[in-house]
Amino acid sequence: MAIKKVSEHFIFTQEQVKLYASITGDNNPLHLDEEFARNTIFKNLLYMECFQLG
């Protein structure tokens, strides 16, 4: 039996990230506040792990 690799790509909107944050209570400014994130070592927003799982 041959193994077939399948991949899918999803684009999450900032509104979806905000909705997830409000549901889970994860209101870390690294996820939601672009200006705050820009002033950290990361220089950009970091998304919650659930958005990064593959």
Q: Indicate whether 36 pLDDT > 60.
A: yes
- Confidence at residue 52, expressed as pLDDT on a 0 to 100 scale: 61
Domain containing residue 31 = 14-51
Residues 27-34 have a mean pLDDT of 92
In whole angstroms, how far apart are CA 33 and each of 4, 5, 11, 37, 53? 39, 36, 19, 6, 22
The alpha-carbon radius of gyration of the chain (Å, integer) is: 15
**Mean per-residue pLDDT over the chain, rounded:** 85
Residues 26-31 have a mean pLDDT of 91
Give the C-alpha separation, 47 to 50, whole Å: 8
Q: Does residue 39 lie within any of the structural domains?
A: yes
Give the C-alpha separation, 54 to 41, whole Å: 25
Q: Indicate whether 26 pLDDT > 80.
A: yes
- pTM for the complete prediction? 0.65
Give the C-alpha separation, 43 to 38, whole Å: 4
Q: Give me the percent of the chain exceeding a pLDDT of 70.
A: 89
Contact by Cβ (8 Å): 37, 29: yes
Q: Does residue 1 lie within any of the structural domains?
A: no
- In the chain, the number of structural domains is 1
